[in-house]
Structure 1
Amino acid sequence: MTLRTFKERVIQTGSFELIGIAFVSPVYAYLTGASMVHGFAMIAMLSIVIMIWCPIFNTIFDLIERGKTARLACKRPQSVRVLHATLHEVSAVIITCPLLMVVGGHSLGSALALNVGLTLTYTVYTYLFHIIYDRVRPIKPSLEKNEAGQSEHLTGEAAVA
Protein backbone atom coordinates (compact mmCIF):
# COMPACT_ATOMS: atom_id res chain seq x y z
CA MET A 1 0.00 0.00 0.00
CA THR A 2 1.21 3.48 -0.77
CA LEU A 3 0.85 6.59 1.36
CA ARG A 4 1.59 10.14 0.31
CA THR A 5 5.29 10.97 0.49
CA PHE A 6 6.67 13.56 2.89
CA LYS A 7 7.14 15.94 -0.06
CA GLU A 8 3.53 15.41 -1.12
CA ARG A 9 2.33 16.08 2.45
CA VAL A 10 4.27 19.37 2.45
CA ILE A 11 2.65 20.38 -0.85
CA GLN A 12 -0.80 19.32 0.39
CA THR A 13 -0.48 21.13 3.71
CA GLY A 14 1.08 24.26 2.24
CA SER A 15 -1.60 24.55 -0.43
CA PHE A 16 -4.35 24.00 2.11
CA GLU A 17 -3.04 26.67 4.48
CA LEU A 18 -2.20 29.34 1.88
CA ILE A 19 -5.67 29.15 0.37
CA GLY A 20 -7.22 29.15 3.85
CA ILE A 21 -5.23 32.22 5.01
CA ALA A 22 -6.20 34.19 1.91
CA PHE A 23 -9.87 33.42 2.49
CA VAL A 24 -10.16 33.64 6.30
CA SER A 25 -7.87 36.57 7.25
CA PRO A 26 -10.17 39.31 5.95
CA VAL A 27 -13.19 37.64 7.56
CA TYR A 28 -11.41 37.40 10.94
CA ALA A 29 -10.32 41.05 10.74
CA TYR A 30 -13.85 42.18 9.90
CA LEU A 31 -15.56 40.11 12.62
CA THR A 32 -13.13 41.11 15.38
CA GLY A 33 -12.68 44.72 14.32
CA ALA A 34 -8.95 44.11 13.97
CA SER A 35 -6.75 45.59 11.29
CA MET A 36 -6.05 43.51 8.20
CA VAL A 37 -2.43 43.20 9.36
CA HIS A 38 -3.53 41.82 12.76
CA GLY A 39 -6.09 39.55 11.07
CA PHE A 40 -3.50 38.20 8.67
CA ALA A 41 -0.92 37.76 11.46
CA MET A 42 -3.37 35.93 13.74
CA ILE A 43 -4.65 33.59 11.05
CA ALA A 44 -1.10 33.00 9.76
CA MET A 45 0.01 32.10 13.30
CA LEU A 46 -2.91 29.69 13.68
CA SER A 47 -2.04 28.24 10.29
CA ILE A 48 1.57 27.61 11.27
CA VAL A 49 0.38 25.63 14.28
CA ILE A 50 -2.03 23.71 12.08
CA MET A 51 0.63 23.11 9.39
CA ILE A 52 2.68 21.32 11.99
CA TRP A 53 -0.32 19.32 13.20
CA CYS A 54 -1.99 18.59 9.82
CA PRO A 55 0.55 16.16 8.31
CA ILE A 56 0.80 14.35 11.63
CA PHE A 57 -3.00 14.03 11.87
CA ASN A 58 -3.40 13.02 8.20
CA THR A 59 -0.67 10.38 8.39
CA ILE A 60 -2.15 8.88 11.56
CA PHE A 61 -5.64 8.90 10.01
CA ASP A 62 -4.34 7.32 6.77
CA LEU A 63 -2.41 4.61 8.66
CA ILE A 64 -5.47 3.73 10.74
CA GLU A 65 -7.70 3.70 7.65
CA ARG A 66 -5.22 1.60 5.68
CA GLY A 67 -4.86 -0.83 8.57
CA LYS A 68 -8.63 -1.28 8.83
CA THR A 69 -9.59 -1.18 5.14
CA ALA A 70 -6.44 -1.60 2.95
CA ARG A 71 -7.73 1.43 1.00
CA LEU A 72 -5.77 4.39 -0.35
CA ALA A 73 -6.81 7.82 0.94
CA CYS A 74 -7.73 8.94 -2.59
CA LYS A 75 -10.30 6.09 -2.68
CA ARG A 76 -11.92 7.25 0.58
CA PRO A 77 -15.75 7.10 0.63
CA GLN A 78 -17.76 10.23 1.44
CA SER A 79 -18.68 9.10 4.96
CA VAL A 80 -15.00 8.66 5.87
CA ARG A 81 -14.20 12.06 4.30
CA VAL A 82 -16.77 13.67 6.60
CA LEU A 83 -15.26 11.86 9.62
CA HIS A 84 -11.75 12.90 8.54
CA ALA A 85 -12.71 16.58 8.17
CA THR A 86 -14.61 16.63 11.47
CA LEU A 87 -11.84 14.99 13.50
CA HIS A 88 -9.29 17.31 11.90
CA GLU A 89 -11.25 20.38 13.01
CA VAL A 90 -11.98 19.10 16.53
CA SER A 91 -8.27 18.55 17.07
CA ALA A 92 -7.57 22.02 15.62
CA VAL A 93 -9.87 23.66 18.19
CA ILE A 94 -8.06 21.92 21.04
CA ILE A 95 -4.70 23.12 19.74
CA THR A 96 -5.60 26.71 18.72
CA CYS A 97 -8.01 27.94 21.40
CA PRO A 98 -5.20 28.78 23.87
CA LEU A 99 -3.36 30.69 21.13
CA LEU A 100 -6.44 32.81 20.38
CA MET A 101 -6.69 33.62 24.07
CA VAL A 102 -3.05 34.42 24.77
CA VAL A 103 -1.88 36.01 21.51
CA GLY A 104 -5.22 37.25 20.17
CA GLY A 105 -6.29 38.65 23.52
CA HIS A 106 -9.70 36.99 23.35
CA SER A 107 -11.60 35.76 26.36
CA LEU A 108 -12.33 32.05 26.63
CA GLY A 109 -15.89 32.64 25.36
CA SER A 110 -14.71 34.77 22.46
CA ALA A 111 -11.94 32.31 21.57
CA LEU A 112 -14.45 29.45 21.59
CA ALA A 113 -16.93 31.42 19.48
CA LEU A 114 -14.20 32.29 16.97
CA ASN A 115 -13.08 28.68 16.95
CA VAL A 116 -16.64 27.48 16.29
CA GLY A 117 -16.81 29.84 13.30
CA LEU A 118 -13.38 28.80 12.08
CA THR A 119 -14.24 25.14 12.64
CA LEU A 120 -17.46 25.32 10.63
CA THR A 121 -15.72 27.20 7.84
CA TYR A 122 -12.68 24.93 7.79
CA THR A 123 -14.71 21.71 8.05
CA VAL A 124 -16.46 22.52 4.77
CA TYR A 125 -13.21 23.81 3.29
CA THR A 126 -11.27 20.69 4.39
CA TYR A 127 -13.87 18.40 2.85
CA LEU A 128 -13.88 20.24 -0.49
CA PHE A 129 -10.11 20.80 -0.58
CA HIS A 130 -9.28 17.11 -0.13
CA ILE A 131 -11.75 15.98 -2.79
CA ILE A 132 -10.19 18.42 -5.26
CA TYR A 133 -6.63 17.66 -4.12
CA ASP A 134 -7.14 13.89 -4.49
CA ARG A 135 -8.41 14.43 -8.05
CA VAL A 136 -5.65 16.87 -9.02
CA ARG A 137 -2.81 14.96 -7.28
CA PRO A 138 -3.91 11.32 -6.81
CA ILE A 139 -1.64 8.88 -5.02
CA LYS A 140 0.39 6.87 -7.49
CA PRO A 141 0.66 3.27 -6.29
CA SER A 142 4.24 2.06 -6.09
CA LEU A 143 5.77 -0.96 -7.72
CA GLU A 144 6.71 -3.57 -5.17
CA LYS A 145 8.50 -6.88 -5.60
CA ASN A 146 6.58 -10.13 -5.16
CA GLU A 147 8.09 -13.34 -3.75
CA ALA A 148 9.57 -14.21 -7.17
CA GLY A 149 11.31 -10.82 -7.33
CA GLN A 150 8.98 -9.52 -10.04
CA SER A 151 7.45 -6.04 -9.81
CA GLU A 152 3.78 -5.87 -9.01
CA HIS A 153 1.64 -2.77 -9.41
CA LEU A 154 -0.38 -2.30 -6.22
CA THR A 155 -3.73 -0.55 -6.24
CA GLY A 156 -5.90 0.76 -3.48
CA GLU A 157 -7.92 -2.44 -3.66
CA ALA A 158 -4.94 -4.76 -3.10
CA ALA A 159 -5.11 -6.93 -0.03
CA VAL A 160 -2.48 -6.45 2.64
CA ALA A 161 -0.65 -9.73 3.27
Structure 2
Amino acid sequence: MALRSRKERIIQTVSFELGGLMIAAPLYALFFDTSSGHSFFLLVCISAVVLIWAPVHNTLFDKLDLHVFHRLASARPHKWRVLHAISLEVSSIALTFPVVLLISEHGALGALAVNIGLTLFYTAYGYLFHLVFDMVRPVQSNMLLPE
Protein backbone atom coordinates (compact mmCIF):
# COMPACT_ATOMS: atom_id res chain seq x y z
CA MET A 1 0.00 0.00 0.00
CA ALA A 2 1.36 3.43 -0.89
CA LEU A 3 1.01 6.12 1.77
CA ARG A 4 3.11 9.02 2.93
CA SER A 5 6.07 8.03 5.04
CA ARG A 6 6.30 9.17 8.66
CA LYS A 7 8.84 11.79 7.55
CA GLU A 8 6.48 13.10 4.84
CA ARG A 9 3.59 13.15 7.32
CA ILE A 10 5.67 15.22 9.76
CA ILE A 11 6.68 17.65 6.99
CA GLN A 12 3.03 17.93 5.91
CA THR A 13 1.71 18.53 9.43
CA VAL A 14 4.38 21.00 10.54
CA SER A 15 4.11 22.95 7.27
CA PHE A 16 0.33 23.11 7.62
CA GLU A 17 0.46 24.38 11.20
CA LEU A 18 3.22 26.95 10.64
CA GLY A 19 1.47 28.37 7.58
CA GLY A 20 -1.83 28.52 9.42
CA LEU A 21 -0.27 30.27 12.42
CA MET A 22 1.38 32.88 10.22
CA ILE A 23 -2.00 33.77 8.71
CA ALA A 24 -4.49 33.15 11.55
CA ALA A 25 -2.67 34.71 14.54
CA PRO A 26 -2.57 38.25 13.12
CA LEU A 27 -6.18 37.93 11.92
CA TYR A 28 -7.35 36.80 15.38
CA ALA A 29 -5.48 39.67 17.08
CA LEU A 30 -6.99 42.18 14.65
CA PHE A 31 -10.53 40.80 14.79
CA PHE A 32 -10.69 40.48 18.60
CA ASP A 33 -8.57 43.54 19.36
CA THR A 34 -6.15 41.54 21.47
CA SER A 35 -2.39 41.50 21.68
CA SER A 36 -0.47 39.56 19.10
CA GLY A 37 1.21 37.68 21.96
CA HIS A 38 -2.12 36.48 23.38
CA SER A 39 -3.37 35.59 19.91
CA PHE A 40 -0.19 33.70 19.09
CA PHE A 41 -0.23 31.82 22.44
CA LEU A 42 -3.85 30.74 22.00
CA LEU A 43 -3.26 29.56 18.45
CA VAL A 44 -0.02 27.76 19.39
CA CYS A 45 -1.95 25.86 22.07
CA ILE A 46 -4.66 24.97 19.57
CA SER A 47 -1.96 23.96 17.08
CA ALA A 48 -0.35 21.66 19.64
CA VAL A 49 -3.61 19.73 19.89
CA VAL A 50 -4.02 19.67 16.12
CA LEU A 51 -0.38 18.64 15.59
CA ILE A 52 -1.16 15.47 17.49
CA TRP A 53 -4.55 14.88 15.88
CA ALA A 54 -3.92 15.83 12.21
CA PRO A 55 -1.44 13.07 11.31
CA VAL A 56 -3.74 10.48 12.87
CA HIS A 57 -6.74 11.86 10.97
CA ASN A 58 -4.84 12.23 7.69
CA THR A 59 -3.43 8.71 7.86
CA LEU A 60 -6.84 7.21 8.61
CA PHE A 61 -8.43 9.23 5.79
CA ASP A 62 -5.67 8.19 3.35
CA LYS A 63 -6.07 4.52 4.33
CA LEU A 64 -9.83 4.75 3.83
CA ASP A 65 -9.30 6.36 0.42
CA LEU A 66 -6.75 3.71 -0.56
CA HIS A 67 -8.72 0.68 0.64
CA VAL A 68 -12.19 1.76 -0.45
CA PHE A 69 -11.42 3.66 -3.67
CA HIS A 70 -7.95 2.26 -4.49
CA ARG A 71 -6.39 5.68 -5.02
CA LEU A 72 -3.55 7.68 -3.51
CA ALA A 73 -4.09 10.92 -1.60
CA SER A 74 -2.48 12.88 -4.42
CA ALA A 75 -5.15 11.51 -6.81
CA ARG A 76 -8.06 12.50 -4.53
CA PRO A 77 -10.92 14.20 -6.41
CA HIS A 78 -12.40 17.56 -5.42
CA LYS A 79 -15.39 16.17 -3.46
CA TRP A 80 -13.12 14.00 -1.31
CA ARG A 81 -10.70 16.89 -0.75
CA VAL A 82 -13.62 18.94 0.58
CA LEU A 83 -14.72 16.05 2.82
CA HIS A 84 -11.12 15.60 4.03
CA ALA A 85 -10.80 19.27 4.99
CA ILE A 86 -14.21 19.39 6.68
CA SER A 87 -13.72 16.14 8.59
CA LEU A 88 -10.39 17.35 9.98
CA GLU A 89 -11.83 20.66 11.11
CA VAL A 90 -15.06 19.29 12.58
CA SER A 91 -13.18 16.66 14.57
CA SER A 92 -10.70 19.32 15.65
CA ILE A 93 -13.52 21.47 17.11
CA ALA A 94 -14.27 18.80 19.69
CA LEU A 95 -10.60 18.55 20.64
CA THR A 96 -9.78 22.28 20.73
CA PHE A 97 -12.95 23.79 22.21
CA PRO A 98 -11.75 23.26 25.80
CA VAL A 99 -8.44 24.95 24.94
CA VAL A 100 -10.19 28.03 23.51
CA LEU A 101 -12.53 28.17 26.50
CA LEU A 102 -9.70 27.97 29.06
CA ILE A 103 -7.18 30.31 27.43
CA SER A 104 -9.33 32.97 25.81
CA GLU A 105 -11.48 35.47 27.64
CA HIS A 106 -14.57 34.27 25.80
CA GLY A 107 -17.50 32.56 27.49
CA ALA A 108 -18.75 29.21 26.23
CA LEU A 109 -20.75 30.69 23.34
CA GLY A 110 -17.94 33.09 22.46
CA ALA A 111 -15.41 30.26 22.55
CA LEU A 112 -17.66 28.19 20.32
CA ALA A 113 -18.01 31.12 17.91
CA VAL A 114 -14.23 31.62 17.87
CA ASN A 115 -13.72 27.90 17.29
CA ILE A 116 -16.25 27.89 14.44
CA GLY A 117 -14.61 30.97 12.90
CA LEU A 118 -11.19 29.34 13.11
CA THR A 119 -12.69 26.16 11.72
CA LEU A 120 -14.11 27.96 8.69
CA PHE A 121 -10.74 29.61 8.10
CA TYR A 122 -8.80 26.36 8.52
CA THR A 123 -11.24 24.38 6.37
CA ALA A 124 -10.59 26.67 3.41
CA TYR A 125 -6.89 26.86 4.24
CA GLY A 126 -6.74 23.05 4.63
CA TYR A 127 -8.30 22.47 1.24
CA LEU A 128 -5.85 24.82 -0.49
CA PHE A 129 -2.85 23.66 1.54
CA HIS A 130 -3.39 19.95 0.81
CA LEU A 131 -4.10 20.63 -2.87
CA VAL A 132 -0.79 22.50 -3.21
CA PHE A 133 1.10 20.06 -0.95
CA ASP A 134 -0.03 17.08 -3.06
CA MET A 135 1.14 18.88 -6.21
CA VAL A 136 4.50 19.87 -4.73
CA ARG A 137 5.11 16.61 -2.82
CA PRO A 138 2.97 13.86 -4.42
CA VAL A 139 2.86 10.40 -2.89
CA GLN A 140 5.67 8.44 -4.53
CA SER A 141 5.04 4.91 -5.74
CA ASN A 142 8.18 3.87 -3.84
CA MET A 143 6.52 4.97 -0.56
CA LEU A 144 5.18 1.49 -0.01
CA LEU A 145 4.19 0.44 3.47
CA PRO A 146 3.35 -3.09 4.56
CA GLU A 147 -0.38 -3.81 4.59
Q: TM-score category by the smaller chain?
A: over 0.9
How many angstroms does 1:15 deviate by? 0.4
Residue identity over aligned pairs, in percent, reads 44
- RMSD after superposition: 1.2
Structure-1 separation of matches of 2:23 and 2:101: 22
In the alignment, is the contact (CA less than 8 A) between 2:3 and 2:143 conserved in 1? Answer: no
**Equivalent residue, structure 2, for 1:33:** 33
Inter-CA distance 36–9: structure 2 relative to 1 (3 Å threshold): same
Aligned to 1:45: 45
Q: Where does the alignment leave 5 or more consecutive residues of structure 2 unmatched?
A: none
Q: TM-score, normalised by structure 1?
A: 0.86
- Count how many residue pairs are aligned between Structure 1 and Structure 2: 144
CA displacement at 1:33 relative to structure 2: 2.2
Q: Does residue 95 of structure 1 match 2:95?
A: yes
Q: Deviations over 1:116-149 (max 9, x none)?
A: 11111111100000010000001110287xxxxx
* Higher Cα Rg, which structure: 1
Instruction: Provide, for residues 74-94 of structure 1, a one-character-per-residue CA deviation record: whole Å limited to 9, x for no partner.
Output: 000000000000101101111
Shift in Å at residue 105 of structure 1? 3.2
Q: TM-score, normalised by structure 2?
A: 0.94
Please identify, of 69-78 and 103-112, the stretch whose mean Cα deviation from structure 2 is larger. 103-112
Structure number with the higher helix fraction is 2
Asked whether the 8 Å contact 2:4–2:143 carries over to 1, the reply is no
User: Runs of at least 4 residues of structure 1 off by over 2 A?
Assistant: none
Mapped to 2, the partners of 1:72 and 1:29 lie a distance apart of: 38
Is the Cα contact below 8 Å between 2:93 and 2:115 reproduced in 1?
Answer: yes
| Aligned equivalent of 1:118 | 118
**Counterpart in 2 of 1:66?**
66
Query: Where does residue 6 of structure 1 map in the other structure?
Result: 6
Map of 1:106 onto structure 2? 106
- The offset of 1:101, in angstroms, is 0.5
TM superposition shift of 1:31: 2.0
The separation in 2 between residues aligned to 1:98 and 1:143, in whole angstroms, is 37
Q: CA separation in 2, counterparts of 1:52 and 1:106? A: 25
